[in-house]
């Protein structure tokens, strides 16, 4: 799956991931390959994902995530690495 994490200032991450987890507005959820399309608001909390280099964790301060056709786009208000 392709993951992009973008803030108003810059692109934080772009790359291939095997899984990603998000702090959804209605509760945390995980996205795996071939996940159903979804758009969700993000609460403040941990975003984690696994790529070829291992597991990464960052804190987002709200935003939106869209999942469609194995492409995940995160529009975060602010990211703390």
pLDDT digits (tens, 9 = 90+) for 39-74: 999 999 999 999 999 999 999 999 999 999 999 999
Query: Concatenated DSSP letters for 57-81?
Result: EEEEEEEEEEEETTEEEEEES-EE-
Which residues on adjacent β-strands are paired with residue 51? 54
Residue 81 has pLDDT above 90, yes or no: no
- Parse the chain into domains and list their residue ranges: 2-80
In eight-state DSSP terms, residue 8 is S
Question: What's the confidence (pLDDT) of residue 14?
Answer: 98
Any idea which residue has 């995160």 for tokens? 74
Question: What's the confidence (pLDDT) of residue 38?
Answer: 96
Prediction pTM value: 0.94
Question: Regarding the domain with residue range 2-80, which homologous superfamily does it belong to in the CATH classification?
Answer: F0F1 ATP synthase delta/epsilon subunit, N-terminal (2.60.15.10)
pLDDT digits (tens, 9 = 90+) for 21-43: 999 999 999 999 999 999 999 99
Over the range 7-39, which residues count as b (16 or more CB within 10 Å of their CB) and which as e?
A: beeeebbeeebebbbbbeeeeeeebeeebeeee
């Amino acid at each position: 799956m392709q993951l992009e994490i973008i803030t108003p200032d810059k692109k934080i991450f772009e790359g291939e991931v095997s899984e990603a987890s998000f702090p959804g507005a209605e509760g945390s959820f995980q996205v795996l390959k071939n996940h159903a399309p979804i758009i969700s608001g993000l609460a403040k909390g941990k975003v984690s994902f696994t790529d070829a280099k291992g597991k990464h964790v960052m804190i987002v301060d709200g935003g939106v995530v869209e999942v469609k056709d194995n492409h995940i786009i995160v529009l975060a208000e602010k990211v703390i690495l």
